[in-house]
Each structure stands twice: as C-alpha cells, then as structure tokens.
C-alpha cells in the first residue's frame, strides 16, 4: 500500500504483454511495478514492503518460473496476494499455492481487475481503489 | 556324435516337430542337455545345428547360454516346482549387442513320467521393444510439440489482446473504443475455441462447452451489471469440426455484442438466450433477447462490420438467416438444412 493505493507487481517477460498488464493495473487505479523475470521480482519484493499483489506469468527465463515464484512468495511474504496467468492452462492450475487466482492466456482484462479487486478487498476493505 | 546323447530315444516325430518349430525352441533333457534345437533357434542365435545334439545348454555356442538364473529356473521347472512363463533374460555375447529374450519353459507332457524333458521357447524381443520405445517417444514428442504450439498460440493471442486493450484505453472517441473492444471480443472468441480444441480429441469441438465459455467471457467483459443482464446458453451434445465451430463462435460473438449494445438501453433487466440444436445434418442456432426489439426506419442502425461478418459466415456454412420479432425483443435464427458442411454430430458418430 502506498498513499492509500494498492501496489501491484507485474512479472512478464514479453514486453507488449507486460505493458498491457501495467496499463490495466494503472487503469484500475493501483500503483504498478514491473519485472521481467522472477529474479528481478524478488529483488523488488526484498527492496520494498508495500507490495500488496503479484500478477505473474508462468513461463519465463531465469531461475524460477511463475509457479515456483508463486510458492516462494507465499512462503516468504505470505500476505502478498497472487494472480497467475499462463498459456498452458490445464497443467498449471493445480500446482499453484492455495488462495491464488489463475487465468488462462489470453486473459480478459476485466476478469483480471475483478480478481485484483476481490483479492485486495479480502483483508483490506478500505484500501481498494476502483477504476 | 562324440557326446553321449541321452539314454533315451525320442520319437522321430517329436524331434521333427521341435526342429521345424517356427518359434525358436529347445528340447532339453532333465540335466539340461539339448536333445534337439529348432532350426529357427540356431538361425536366430547363430549356432551351428550340427554341434547341438547332446550338448549341455551351458556349452552351446561360446557358452553364452550358461546363465545361472536360466539353469535354476529350468531345474525348478524339471522338478515340477515352477513353470517359467514369460521370464525375461539378457543374452550377452562378446562383440554383439545384448539381446532381450523372453523365455517360456515347461515339461513335455507325453505321459512318460520317468523321463522328464523340457521345452524351452525363446523369443528375441529386442527389436520389438526398441520399436515400442520409439513409438512411445514419438507419441510423447508429439504431445509436447502440440502443447508447445498451443502455448505459443495462446501467448500470441495474448499479445494481440494486450495491444487492443491498450489502444482502447488510450483513444478519446467512444466509437473507436467500441470498435477496439469488439475486435478484442473477436480475438477472445477465437482464443476460447483454441482452448477448447487443446482439450478435445480428434479436432472436434463440443459446442456446449465452447459456447458456454465464450458467453461467460463475453459477459464478464461486457456486462457491467451482472444482476441486470445475463446470457443463457442452451446447447445439445453436438460436436462439430473446428472450422465450423470458429464460424459459429464468431456469429454468436457478433450477435451477443449487438444485443448487449442495442437491446437494453434502459431496461431494468434482460436476458440473451443462445440456443443450438442439431438433428443429423440439420442444425439451428438462435440468439434472442427480450429487449426493446428492432428499431425501424431511420432509427435502424447502419449495418456494421458485425452484420457483415455474420452474413458472410452464415453463407459459408450454407445456412439461412432470419430476424424476427420475439415480442418482446428480437430473435435471430440461423438454420442449415441438408447434409452437414464438414460437420459431425456426436450422437450419430458414436
């Protein structure tokens, strides 16, 4: 949370898709941070304590994919909410940490912002911004 | 013959049967001497037939048949304690690849209980196993490749969807934004089909699942007040060719977008109903709403890209389109009569 706005970290290796995801986060009224892979995401998560939600892709370069990253975040920063999107839907949904939301790609932007609002409202009823 | 054969003479017919066996076969005495070997055995395992009779099994060839496991299994078989049924052993020979063998052993049941003799059938399964392994590898590679392709398609569609949505958020004109959203819906309609295809077998698409998913996705992105407007989908168990399903999905997408835009300007509630049913080659798709009905005269909206797409696709499916007053609301019915256009129905296919 930063000045009453929820902070969302977007992790996606494809530039255009990452731009789109950051854009939808901003349009929904949240603050957006972005990373290209799990390592960069972890550096950002370590450097600041105001991240409320992580929206991550699954397949990406680096030491961890989005599923490993989701588990790592759940273990290390349990309050951070998780949304995971992937082009490999059936395989991956069952391997995610409990409580995270999964969307197959291509995702519908409004479905993602709805999920963000729902997850952020679940323990923070006043802190959610709406677009 | 230098070796003492057996004290016992076998009937010539028994020996002839063994020698002519198509399956590699050894006929052994109780103490594991070879009474006869089939020509197929000698050929398969490179053994000179003349050297065979009377030889101990473990002295055959260059001694490669001296396998303690085989000897003990044969001993157990001879004593009646066990029967070897499809036991796997490796045949190792110097300078040759190890062969995988499947052996079957049993005592010869010819009523002579004083002279135990053994029949040992030996099948070389090395090549068959290699072929099975190769086939399994191919099937696995194929599945992985398929998954990779589907993944790439999904990611490509995501890039297109992302670009369209970013453009839609940036443009000032409501009309242009509407067009960009429509383009986005069309992309999502094809994406829903792609997802459905990735889980279906044989390239046929179950329309019920596909159209339900499609309308859920359209509703989620277009309906701001889900309590006010809803989409109901009723589809029979039809499964259609992927090409046909793309057309049907796009038709439904256009008609639902159109109804959501125009049918319910101020209505407190409204429903759009999608219905598909087929009977042999005949099928009917209808999209109806209980909204304000078709505007007439100068109020009628200009035919846009959406209606052009619908007309072209209906023509392609050799269907006929009819618009009618549903009182209240509008019904669009598309019907095809006659033999299917690359169209398969589950109920008739089974």
pLDDT of residue B319: 94
Task: Tell me the shortest Cα–Cα distance from B134 to chain A, in angstroms.
Answer: 25
Give the separation between CA B290 and CA B272, rounded to whole angstroms: 7
Where is the domain boundary, B100, B124, B148? Answer: B124
pLDDT at A127: 43
Same domain, B117 and B250: no
Looking at the structure, tell me whether residues B338 and B196 fall in a common domain.
Answer: yes
**For position B192, what pLDDT does the model report?**
86
Tokens 């068959």 -> residue: B128
* Domain final residue, candidates B62, B95, B124: B124
Sheet holding B270-279, edge to edge: B229-235, B270-279, B282-289, B330-336, B320-325
* Residue B1 belongs to some domain of the structure: no
- Tell me the residues of A at the B interface, defined by beta carbons under 8 Å apart: 14, 16-17, 19-21, 23-24, 27, 59, 85-91, 104-111, 114
Q: Are residues B257 and B339 in the same domain?
A: yes
Per-residue confidence in pLDDT tens, chain B, 350 aa: 445 444 567 888 888 999 999 999 999 999 999 999 999 999 999 999 999 889 999 999 889 999 999 998 999 999 887 777 888 999 999 888 999 999 999 998 877 777 889 999 999 999 999 999 999 999 999 888 888 888 889 999 999 999 999 999 999 999 999 999 999 998 998 888 888 887 776 778 899 999 998 998 888 888 888 889 999 999 999 999 888 998 999 999 999 999 998 899 888 899 999 999 999 889 999 999 999 987 776 666 666 777 888 999 999 899 999 999 888 899 999 999 987 765 444 334 33
Q: Is position B111 within any domain?
A: yes
The verdict on B170 and B234 lying in the same domain is yes
Phi-psi region of B6 (alpha: psi -120 to 50; beta: other; left: phi over 0): beta
Residue contact A14–B158, C-beta within 8 A = yes
Domain A7-121 adopts which CATH fold? Rossmann fold (3.40.50)
**Cross-chain Cβ contact B154/A59 below 8 Å:** no
Task: Indicate whether B3 belongs to any domain.
Answer: no
B186 touches chain A (CB under 8 A): no
Co-location of B118 and B216 in the same domain = no
Domain assignment of residue B176, yes or no: yes
Cross-chain Cβ contact B150/A87 below 8 Å: yes
Is A9 strand, coil or helix?
strand
A88 interaction partners in chain B (CB closer than 8 Å): 147, 150-151, 154
Asked if A35 and A41 count as a contact pair (C-beta separation under 8 A), the reply is: yes
According to DSSP, residue B80 is labeled T
CA dist B69 and B59 (Å) reads 15
Sequence-ordered list of residues with C-beta below 8 angstroms from that of B349, at least 6 positions apart, any chain: B239
Count of beta carbons in the 10 Å neighbourhood of residue A44: 16
**Looking at residue A94, what is its pLDDT?**
76
Residues B105, B143, single domain; the answer is: no
B156-178 CB burial, b ≥16 within 10 A, e <16: bbbbbbbbbbbbbbeeeeeeeee
Distance CA B108, CA B17 (A): 13
What is the predicted pLDDT for the residue at B309?
87
Pair B66, B149 in one domain: no
Q: Based on the domain organization, do B20 and B145 belong to the same domain?
A: no
- Does residue B306 form part of some domain? yes
Q: Which domain holds residue B42?
A: 12-124
The pLDDT of residue B343 is: 44
pLDDT for B132? 93
**Gap between the Cα atoms of B165 and B183, Å rounded:** 9
Of B160, B187, B221, the CB nearest to A110: B221
Note whether B94 and B195 are same-domain residues: no
**Could you say which residues from 196 to 215 on chain B have a Cβ atom under 8 Å away from some Cβ of chain A?**
198-199
Q: What is the pairing mode between strands B34-37 and A31-35?
A: unpaired
Does B119 share its domain with B155? Answer: no
DSSP state of B49: G
Domain boundary among B102, B124, B146: B124
| Distance from the A94 Cα atom to the nearest Cα atom in chain B, whole angstroms | 16
Q: What is the pLDDT, as a whole number, of residue B2? A: 47
Question: Which chain A residues have a beta carbon less than 8 Å from that of B151?
Answer: 59, 87-88
Q: Which residues of A touch B161 (CB under 8 A)?
A: 20, 106-109
B140 and B274 part of one domain: yes
Q: How far apart are CA B157 and CA A105, in angstroms?
A: 8
Q: What is the ipTM of this complex?
A: 0.87
CATH number for the domain spanning B215: value is: 3.30.565.10
pLDDT value for B198: 78
What was the pLDDT predicted at A126? 45
- Domain match, B105 and B209 both: no
Whether B165 and chain A come into contact, CB under 8 Å, resolves to yes
Report H helices in B236-345: 242-262, 305-316
**CA A46 – CA B105 distance, rounded (Å):** 69
Question: In which residue ranges of chain A is pLDDT below 50?
Answer: 125-131
The CATH number linked to B55 is: 3.30.450.20
Nearest one of B230, B250, B231 to B182, comparing CA atoms:
B250
E strand or H helix that includes residue B156: helix B126-170
Phi and psi at residue B78, in whole multiples of 5°? -65, -35
What predicted TM-score, i.e. pTM, was given to this entire model? 0.69
Domain locations along chain A? 7-121
B179-216 confidence digits (pLDDT tens): 999 999 989 988 888 888 877 767 788 999 999 989 98
Radius of gyration of chain A (CA): 13
- A-B CB pairs within 8 A amount to 74
Per the structure, the count of domains in chain B is 2
How many whole angstroms separate alpha carbon B332 and alpha carbon B294?
A: 11
* One-letter-per-residue 3-state SS of B160-204: HHHHHHHHHHHCCCHHHHHHHHHHHHHHHHHHHHHHHHHHCCCCE
């Amino acid at each position: 949370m930063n000045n009453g706005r929820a902070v969302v970290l977007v992790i996606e290796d494809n530039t255009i898709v990452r731009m789109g995801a950051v854009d939808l986060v901003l349009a929904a009224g949240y603050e957006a941070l972005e990373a290209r892979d799990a390592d960069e995401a972890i550096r950002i998560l370590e450097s600041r304590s105001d991240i409320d939600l992580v929206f991550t892709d699954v397949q990406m370069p680096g030491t961890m994919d989005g599923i490993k990253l989701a588990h790592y975040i759940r273990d290390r920063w349990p309050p951070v909410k998780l949304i995971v999107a992937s082009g490999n839907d059936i395989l991956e949904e069952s391997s995610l940490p409990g409580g995270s939301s999964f969307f197959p790609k291509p995702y519908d932007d409004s479905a993602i912002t709805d999920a963000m609002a729902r997850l952020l409202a679940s323990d923070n009823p006043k802190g959610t911004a709406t677009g | 013959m230098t070796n003492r054969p057996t004290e016992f003479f076998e009937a010539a017919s028994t020996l002839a049967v063994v020698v002519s066996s198509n399956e590699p076969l050894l006929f052994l005495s109780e103490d594991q001497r070879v009474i006869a070997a089939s020509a197929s055995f000698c050929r398969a395992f490179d053994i000179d037939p003349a050297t065979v009779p009377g030889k101990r099994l473990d002295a055959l060839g260059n001694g490669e048949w001296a396998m303690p496991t085989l000897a003990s299994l044969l001993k157990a078989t001879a004593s009646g304690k066990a029967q070897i049924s499809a036991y796997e052993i490796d045949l190792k020979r110097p300078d040759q690849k190890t062969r995988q063998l499947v052996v079957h052993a049993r005592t010869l049941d010819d009523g002579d209980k004083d002279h135990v003799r053994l029949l040992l059938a030996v099948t070389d399964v090395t090549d068959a196993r290699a072929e099975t392994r190769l086939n399994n590898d191919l099937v696995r590679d194929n599945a992985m490749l398929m998954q990779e392709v589907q993944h790439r398609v999904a990611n490509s569609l995501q890039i297109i969807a992302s670009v369209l949505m970013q453009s839609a958020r940036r443009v000032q004109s409501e009309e242009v934004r509407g067009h960009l959203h429509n383009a986005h819906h069309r992309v999502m309609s094809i994406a829903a089909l792609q997802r459905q295809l990735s889980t279906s077998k044989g390239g046929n698409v179950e329309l019920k699942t596909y159209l339900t998913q499609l309308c859920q996705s359209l509703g989620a992105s277009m309906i701001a007040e889900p309590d006010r407007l809803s989409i109901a989908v009723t589809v029979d168990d039809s499964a259609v060719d992927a090409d046909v399903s793309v057309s049907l999905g796009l038709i439904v997408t256009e008609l639902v977008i159109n109804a959501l835009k125009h049918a319910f300007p101020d209505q407190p509630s409204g429903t759009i109903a999608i219905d598909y049913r087929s009977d042999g080659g005949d099928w009917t798709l209808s999209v109806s709403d209980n909204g304000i009905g078709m505007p007439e005269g100068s109020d009628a909206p200009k035919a846009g890209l959406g209606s052009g797409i619908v007309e072209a696709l209906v023509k392609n499916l050799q269907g006929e389109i009819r618009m009618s007053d549903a009182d209240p609301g509008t019904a669009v019915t598309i019907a095809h009569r006659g033999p299917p256009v690359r169209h398969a129905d589950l109920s008739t296919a089974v």
